[in-house]
Amino acid sequence: MARMFLIPLILAIGWYLFLMWFRIPFRQGLKGFYWIIGLGSAMAGFFSLMIWLTH
């Protein structure tokens, strides 16, 4: 359960590598980081809640 914070972190690192690979400016890809952190955190929170409720 403590590793749920890794989901948005791994996705953000993957997005950063994608931006660097295709030479897309960081400012142009910044909105992607907001989506990754928001959705990844919501998903991690949902999974944490489900683990807590069913434990």
**CA–CA dist 43, 6 (Å, integer):** 11
Report pTM.
0.75
**CA–CA dist 8, 30 (Å, integer):** 14
What is the per-residue pLDDT for 47?
A: 86
Per the CB < 8 A criterion, the answer to whether 40 and 7 are in contact is yes
Could you read off the pLDDT of 14-42 as tens digits, one per residue? 999 999 999 999 999 999 999 998 998 88
What is the per-residue pLDDT for 2?
A: 65
What Cα–Cα distance (Å) separates residue 3 from each residue in 10, 26, 40? 11, 27, 12
